[in-house]
Structure formats: structure tokens, C-alpha cells
Amino acid sequence: MRRTLYLLAIVLGLLVVGALNVLAYSTGTRNLYVQVVLPVTMIPVLFSLGWLLSRRPLALPERLMFFTVNVQVLAQALLEEMQRPALSGGSDLVYWSVVVNVMLAYLLFPNREAGRYSAALFVLSVVVPWAGLALGGGAVSADLPRVQLTVGIVLLFVHALSWYRGQFEAQRSEVRVMAQLAHTDLLTNLPNRRGMYPAVQELLTSGGAALLLDLDHFKRVNDTFGHQVGDEVLERSARLMEAQLPPGGKVGRWGGEEFLMTLPGLGAPEAAQLAERLCQTFRTQSMVGVGLVTVSVGVTLARVGETLPALVARADEHLYAAKHAGRDGWRDAPLLDGGADGSVSAFPDV
């Protein structure tokens, strides 16, 4: 979009310069600014036009056009003061052009760079008119210092606003990062327990299923291969779980080697099928340097209006049943009277 805007501005500028020159020649008016300054400064503008059309980066033409516009403004100020015996209200336009260019600098460039451009442009906008008066032999009007002082105050105000905006953006970015860190598990890049609370709350409000997953014998992985390998297993497991998520589902690291999956709107059969797919996925995916790491899953339906601890406690009970039944599987109900198979698709306890 910026490239398109620059191209349109250049085309419009070329048309204006052409029209001004035609008007000057047709009326016989001698205007050095229109007949000399503008055509000469069109050379870098034409170079910028070619650069933009070649789809190359914008940094060079942005700076080149910015400096070209400033040269035009300062040249106009010099010529006006050389040709006028005393400053009149008409020259205010030059100084407000300086203000506009400075504001443009703060939009285009980093704050510190724009500040340097602003200071340099202000100094030149003060020196050049006085030089024009000296060269033209004109009398000094009291308006000149007044206008220059006003522009200086305005530029200081613009710089202060830009500095404040930079500080505000930096603080807001820092807050965003801190919020992300507070709700994200840095190892797996999944939501942590706190980051999962909104998803669980959605289940408790609208209904759905929850899966509590635990990597089997994970302590043995850490003890045998080291914690670095254990971290790699956790990362790989997180990616496998993410790959199986249905639309609207969310998975997070609940703690240690436990993960919680929320599935809004999912019923008992679909949740059971997903649990089976997860177990099957882990059975067929070898972890680098470790081999197979299986997973146990506790499946439960959310009861609308219940509390988070109640939901998680029930899912944990079903997970314990899957562990007790031999791991590498899922359960949607606790083991009944010590029976070997606690998988009940009807969810009798919900």
C-alpha cells in the first residue's frame, strides 16, 4: 500500500510540475522556483519512480523523496526572501510545509532518526531565509523571528508526542510479551494451566468433552536418557496432540507430563474416538533417541455449571483408571469393583 501511495504521489507531482511550467511559459512569468528548482528536483523523483516500479525495498526512495521535498521547501524559502523586501504573511506557508515534512519524517522513520531530520530541517529553515534576506538586501520584519519561534515550538511538541508514543508502544509490547509468557509454556509453546482456564470455562458454560493425557513412564525417560531428551519428548508429544485437535479444540500443558485437551461441543462417541486416535498415534510414533512413548488418557464430559476442580478431578480419576488398567489406553469411567476394563462408552457417571 505504501508503494502504491508513493507511485500515485509521484505521478501527481509530475503532473503539477508540468502544469506549473506550462502556465509560467504561457504567461511569460519568470519564476526560478517553477522553472529551475522543480525540474531539477524531479531527477531524484524520477529515479525513485523507477526504483518503486522495480519492486525493490522502499527505504532508499523514501529517504530520497523526503530529502527532495525538503530541498524544494528550503529553496522556495530562499528565493522568496531574496525577492521580497520584508517578510509578509505569505511566507508562513513555507514554515508550515516544514512542519508537515517533519510530521512525515516521524511517520516514515524511527523516532531517533526522525528527530535528527527534524532538528536539521529546523536549523536550515531558520538559516536559509535569513541568508535570503542578506543576499536580497531586504529589510527584516518582526514577523520572521515570530514565525520561526512558533515553528520551533511546534516541532518540539511533535517530537515530544512522538517520544511519548514510542514509550507507550514499547510498554504495551512489553505487557503483551509478559502476558504471553504468563499464559504460555515455554518448552512446548502450548498454553500453560493458566492459559487453559478460558477454554475450560467455555466447556463449563457451553458443554463438551475434556481429555486429560499423561505420558507413560516419563520419569523413566528422564532417569535413563536425561532431562534434555525428556524435554524433546515433551515437545514432540505436544506437536502430536496439536495435529489431532479437531476444529475449536485446544490443548495445553497442564503440568509436568500431563496435558489437557478441551473439545467444545463434542459428545461421548467423538471424544472416545479422539482418545483412541491419540493412543494409536503415540503407539506408532517413535521418539528420537527413546523409542515409543505411549500415553494414557482420561475422558470425561463437562457438566454445564460445575466447577473447574470438579471437572479436572473426574478426568483425573478416569486417567488413573487407564493407568491402573495397564497404561497405553483411555478410560471414560473409573474402574468398577477392581474390574480389568473400565471403558464405558455411555459415560454412566456423567
Q: Are 265 and 291 in contact (CB under 8 A)?
A: no
Distance (Å, whole) CA 277 – CA 245: 11
Give pairs for 186-191: CB < 8 Å, separation 24+: 187/231, 187/234, 187/235, 187/253, 188/234, 188/235, 188/237, 188/238, 188/253, 189/238, 190/238, 190/242, 190/251, 190/252, 190/253, 190/259, 191/250, 191/251, 191/252, 191/253
Question: 97, 151 in Cβ contact below 8 A?
Answer: no
Residues 6+ apart with CB under 8 A from 336: 342
CA angle 220, 221, 227 (to 5 degrees): 120
Q: Please give the grid coordinates belonging to residue 186.
A: 515455554
Residue 136 cell numbers, joined: 536580497
The full DSSP string for 256-310 is: TTEEEEEEET--HHHHHHHHHHHHHHHHH-EETTTEE--EEEEEEEPPTT--HHH
Say how far apart CA 128 and CA 151 lie, in whole Å: 15
Structural contact between residues 330 and 279, judged by C-beta atoms closer than 8 angstroms: yes
Q: Which residues contact 95 (CB under 8 A, 6 or more apart)?
A: 77, 125, 147, 148, 150, 151
Is-catalytic flag, 81?
no
* 157 CB-near residues (< 8 Å, 6+ apart): none
Catalytic residue among 257, 258, 270, 317: 257
Q: At CA 82, angle to CA 119 and CA 31, rounded to 5? A: 105
Catalytically active residues, by annotation: 257
